[in-house]
Amino acid sequence: MVLHWFAGKILIMPPSAQSRFSLILFVFALSFALAGNARAELVWTPQSGWKVEGGALVGVSGKEAQGALEMMNKARAAEEKGNLMTAAKYYKRAAKMYPNSIYAPEAQYHLGKVQLARKKYAKSFEAFQTVALRYPSTTRYNEIIGLQYSIASALLDGARGRVFGIFPGFANREKGIQFLEILLIEAPYSDYAPIAMMSIAQGHAYLRNSEEAMDALDRMINTYPQSVLAPDAYLSLGKAHATLVEGANYDQASTRDSITYYEDFMILFPSDNNVAKAEKGLTEMKVILADSKMKIGDFYFFKRDNYKAARVFYNEAITVYPDSEIAAQAKQRLVEVDAAVAKASAPAKKKRFFFF
């Protein structure tokens, strides 16, 4: 019998099992060693070019390794000289030919940087996206997400790419929104996610896509309620719904929604610097809603002699904004309704006939 110490326990096994156990330990040790080697990194210096440091497992060997290295050196040399088109060609080729090597994520990253310098925004974004999706363990992950956000934000601000690398193209704010939505799928829990959501809302608002803007803000407060941008989202939703209000004579669904978001903002963030703005917006919306109730009550009272319905809407006007001038008018109307009801309920006087 042979004694082995493993995972804090003494294992007793016959000689026939010893060799198998030793093999298992060897496999474990090899796995850890390979994991360490896999963390090898590429380092570039003007004197020696690209060099692998920190490990030896690079995914290629022999002629392939040499070919990838030469291609990467050509790309970086062209980049340093300002020949960005040539650099992009070699970086793209290196990433395509050696997708499983240590060279691939670095090639894609530099391809994105080169295309960004060329103002090829879509191609740059796609190169960074490839790194984020295929190589999520890269040490550049957060930097890449930040670069993607910068590209999308620039497009939202009206940045124009270059046609043939010379002529300015057209602004494409819709593409910026599309890139931000992709970023939310790539990194939904990154620090950039709430900012991206707010930028999507602002982009839609600029393009006058009111419903899409409000949808983005609604997703923002539901997905990232603890974000420092949540107060802005609530306040923006209140304002956005307020812009849809057409007055007291129209449907008040947007008015009620605006009131809800203003009230939620004031309840959830009572110490926010924008509370005064929320109070002002809330007052404006309550005035419109109360006035709408008054107008409906007047319709039933004066046009239809429906005293029951009129009383309901006058009371609602008072409930919406109790301390307002409209509430005082509604109370006066209720007195008039009571008088009208009393008059209608009084027994009719019999007519008297006189004979001479």
Task: List Cβ neighbours of 138 (8 Å cut-off, separation of 6 or more).
Answer: 105, 109, 131, 144
pLDDT attached to residue 165: 63
Strands 2-6 and 9-13: what pairing?
antiparallel
Q: Hey, what's the torsion of the CAs at 148, 151, 152, 156, to 10 degrees? A: 160
Residues 173 and 155: their CA atoms lie apart, in Å, by: 5
Looking at residues 201-228, what average pLDDT do you find?
A: 96
3-state secondary structure of 2: strand
Contact 302, 296 (CB under 8 A): no
Contact 330, 317 (CB under 8 A): yes
Half-sphere CA count of 220, side-chain side, radius 13 A: 28
Per-domain boundaries in the chain? 41-118, 139-161+169-220
181 exposure class (CB count in 10 Å sphere: 0-12, 13-18, 19+): middle
How confident is the model over 41-59, as pLDDT tens digits?
777 777 667 777 665 444 5
Tokens found for residue 66: 């040499």
Residues 164 and 155: their CA atoms lie apart, in Å, by: 18
Residues 193 and 180: their CA atoms lie apart, in Å, by: 9
Looking at residues 9-32, what average pLDDT do you find?
A: 45
3-state secondary structure of 312: helix
Residue 300: enclosing H or E segment and its boundaries?
none
User: Comparing C-alpha atoms, which of 102, 44, 54 is closest to residue 75?
Assistant: 44
Indicate whether 288 pLDDT > 80: yes
The CA distances from residue 37 to 94, 138, 226, 310, in Å, are: 21, 14, 40, 81
Residue 306: enclosing H or E segment and its boundaries?
none
How confident is the model over 297-349, as pLDDT tens digits?
999 999 999 999 999 999 999 999 999 999 999 999 999 999 999 998 877 66
Rounded to two decimals, what is the model's pTM? Answer: 0.78
At CB < 8 A and 24+ separation, what contacts does 335-341 make?
A: 336/301, 337/301, 337/307, 337/310, 337/311, 340/301, 340/305, 340/307, 341/307
How confident is the model over 131-170, as pLDDT tens digits?
999 999 888 999 999 999 999 999 999 998 877 666 677 8
Lowest mean pLDDT among 4-13, 105-114, 200-209, 253-262: 4-13
pLDDT attached to residue 51: 74
3-state secondary structure of 3: strand
40 compared with 221, residue with greater pLDDT: 221
